[in-house]
Amino acid sequence: MKRTRFRNICLLLAAILLTASLPDAAAEPAASSAPPFEILLADGRAGDGAAFDRQIRGFRLPDESGYGFVIPGYWDASALRLMLTGVGSVQIGGRSYHSGDAIALAANARTQVLPEGREAITIELRQTGGLPVLFLDTESGSSEAIHADKSYREPGALLMTDAEGGVLYQGELSAIRARGNATFNYEKKPYQIKLAKSAALAGPRKNKTWVLLANILDRAQIRTTLAMDLARCSGAFVYTPYTQPVDLYVNGEYRGSYLLSEKQEERETRLPITDLEKAVKDLNPGLDFAGLPALGDPEYAPGARKFFELPVLPEDLTGGYLFQINVPRRYATEASAFVTSRGCVFTVQEPKYLSLTQMQYLSALVQQLEDALFSADGVDPASGRHYTELLDLPSFVNKYLMAEVLDDYDGQYSYFYKDADSVDPMIYAGPVWDQDNILGVWLPQSDPTAIRLSAGQEQIFDWFWLTQASRHAEFMAAAQEAYLHTYRPAILILLGQEKDPQGILRSIDEYAAEVRVSAETDFFRWPFPFSPELERYNVETGDSFDGQIAFLKDYLSVRLGALDAFFLGEERPD
């Protein structure tokens, strides 16, 4: 009895996660003084626990014809509860409903709603399913601030359920924020969350920080997942983030199909290298790193460096570092960054705030590597060291093959990491990250027959490392071997012609089956193409989920022939 009473209070008083705010302008002239009108949907079954004690809010349909509601797959559309604010009752199908009344709505159908004293509106109900569901709540109950500024964060709460509504995780969040570079500018935002206590939300490893990738460019919703599995299948990378496709609600609003992922960061349970950032912070307790003024060169130029003055530094500054080749415009926006003599930008992810001494060490080492890589014989003229004495060849070759096989338009912008010299003095390529821009997403530039990262391509910048590496015989010999024995078999697995003996990689059809309902519901929330900025993407990849999957298989099949011809020539298998 107490549980039922508590649940009713939640339904009537808490607009917890899900509330469909219908702007008053849709129902009343602008001059009206009537209070805002809201419809909310709640599960009508009593006593089913936290996963069912929710209120779902709607969103304005892009064609302005009404409002959409998406309920979790484990809710019963024929046993909902209608919650109202701003009006006493509504008419639906000739029947009057008050707030808290039970109602049955048909999924995939439109319903006319006549609010008391207002104009009629249309609502359309959809139901997702088959995947875990994440409910994020900000402390303020609003998403406005985090959507406006990706540096803004606030605490909140997280509920994660399985596809049947069983609770997988429930607890406080110390921070919720939007994230991303280009992807932050789209309406479907990516997010980062920090749990109050470590938990394994995706894969077996526990941690506090997790990201939610919006897959904004990948309407098939499977590109990053299959790429991460391919990286894991290769066995070439010490760390590859685990991922889990989910349906996401933020402050009650259905946000779409997302990919929950581990974050790339130096941690014992993630990238297992020396945590230099923690060592620096431990030596400088109370220091406001974010408030430190950046020193050095503020603008991009060959040889430029950005760094900070740090009072106390560890004795060993040789690692670990996690850094990335980046586009030139990112030099100005990232905290710590440097530019090689050839104009290649490296932004440093961890430690985020480098001292001058750290910057001098890392930039000099990377410059030495670049000079070796870009010499005709692969040897740095100053030190006499071959690039394979500085950079781990297997990880570098596999990063190149990941990008070439998957036609990664951003494949040249690789991550690298380095541990302390006392542990391992080599620089490694990886980890693999965020792969929504692969396999034909960028059109019309993408072409399944183009071997675009290798030497001789017109669009390649002079400082692209992977293109330069492909000019060295030992690099290409290793790439040909890895393609034949690892990546070609992987393509056949993705095309459904073979099975992975490791049980890691699946066929495109199997990946598609996992996310089908979620991806189709995402198309309802974000119709194709939902933003003018995205018209240059996915132009030919299909305006439906089935179209997207068919495109992927055709694209990869054509690419297999081109890759065979490039890497194997006349020796390619029949």
Which tokens go with 81? 């509860």
Report the distance separating Cα 236 and Cα 551, nearest Å. Answer: 29
Residues 6+ apart with CB under 8 A from 410: 437
Question: Which pLDDT score is estimated for 537?
Answer: 62
Angle formed by the axes of helices 223-234 and 508-525, nearest 10°: 150
Could you tell me the sign of the dihedral formed by the alpha carbons of 90, 53, 526, 138, in that order? positive
Strand partners of residue 429 = 416
Tell me the helix, strand and coil percentages in the chain, rounded to 5.
30, 25, 45
Question: Which pLDDT score is estimated for 249?
Answer: 97
Calculate mean pLDDT across residues 343-369: 97
Q: For the segment 3-57, what is each residue's pLDDT rounded down to a tens digit? A: 333 333 333 333 333 333 344 333 333 333 445 788 899 988 765 566 677 899 9
Selection from 122, 255, 278, 253 nearest residue 186 by Cα: 255
Report the distance separating Cα 341 and Cα 363, nearest Å. Answer: 10
Residue 84 contacts residue 90 (beta carbons within 8 Å): yes
Residue 146 contacts residue 154 (beta carbons within 8 Å): yes
Could you tell me the sign of the dihedral formed by the alpha carbons of 461, 466, 468, 470, in that order? negative
Q: What angle do CA 462, 183, 232 make, to 5 degrees?
A: 70
Q: For the segment 401-426, what is each residue's pLDDT rounded down to a tens digit? A: 999 999 998 889 999 999 999 999 99
Distances (CA, A) of 393 to 265, 378, 466, 469: 22, 12, 12, 10
Report the distance separating Cα 541 and Cα 552, nearest Å. Answer: 8
Question: Which pLDDT score is estimated for 444?
Answer: 65
Which tokens go with 495? 């095309």
Report the distance separating Cα 565 and Cα 180, nearest Å. Answer: 37
Three-state DSSP class for residue 213: strand
Report the distance separating Cα 289 and Cα 224, nearest Å. Answer: 33
Return the DSSP state at 487.
I
Report the distance separating Cα 405 and Cα 5, nearest Å. Answer: 58
Question: Which pLDDT score is estimated for 184?
Answer: 80
| Cis peptide, bond prior to residue 431, ω within 30 of zero | yes
Calculate mean pLDDT across residues 319-330: 94
Three-state DSSP class for residue 226: helix
Calculate mean pLDDT across residues 441-462: 74
Q: How many Cβ atoms are within 10 Å of 104's Cβ, its own excluded?
A: 11
Three-state DSSP class for residue 78: coil
Three-state DSSP class for residue 383: coil
Q: For the segment 73-103, what is each residue's pLDDT rounded down to a tens digit? A: 999 999 999 999 889 999 999 899 999 999 9
Q: How many Cβ atoms are within 10 Å of 537's Cβ, its own excluded?
A: 21
Tell how strand 20-22 and strand 321-326 pair up: unpaired
Task: Say yes or no to pLDDT of 242 above 70.
Answer: yes
Three-state DSSP class for residue 209: strand
Q: For the segment 213-222, what is each residue's pLDDT rounded down to a tens digit? A: 999 888 899 9
Which tokens go with 394? 């297997």
Which tokens go with 39? 């419809």
Residue 324 contacts residue 358 (beta carbons within 8 Å): no
Average model confidence (pLDDT) for the chain?
88
Selection from 214, 210, 194, 348 nearest residue 270 by Cα: 210
Question: Which pLDDT score is estimated for 9?
Answer: 34
Report the distance separating Cα 153 and Cα 139, nearest Å. Answer: 10
Return the DSSP state at 176.
E
Q: Which of 38-42, 105-109, 312-316 shows the highest mean pLDDT?
A: 312-316
Question: Which pLDDT score is estimated for 18?
Answer: 33
What is the longest distance spanned by two Cα atoms in the chain? 86
Task: Pick 255 or 31 by higher pLDDT.
Answer: 255
Residues 6+ apart with CB under 8 A from 447: none
Return the DSSP state at 86.
S
Residue 237 contacts residue 432 (beta carbons within 8 Å): yes
Q: Domain segments of the chain: what residues?
A: 2-127, 133-262, 276-445
Report the distance separating Cα 470 and Cα 466, nearest Å. Answer: 6
**What torsion, rounded to 10 degrees, do the Cα atoms 475, 476, 482, 487 define?**
120
Strand partners of residue 134 = 160, 248
Return the DSSP state at 294.
P
Residue 398 contacts residue 466 (beta carbons within 8 Å): no
Report the distance separating Cα 480 and Cα 153, nearest Å. Answer: 46
Distances (CA, A) of 109 to 70, 126, 127, 152, 316: 12, 8, 11, 38, 64
Question: Which pLDDT score is estimated for 20?
Answer: 36
Task: Say yes or no to pLDDT of 268 above 90.
Answer: no
Question: Which pLDDT score is estimated for 213?
Answer: 95
Residues 6+ apart with CB under 8 A from 233: 486, 490, 500, 502, 504, 505
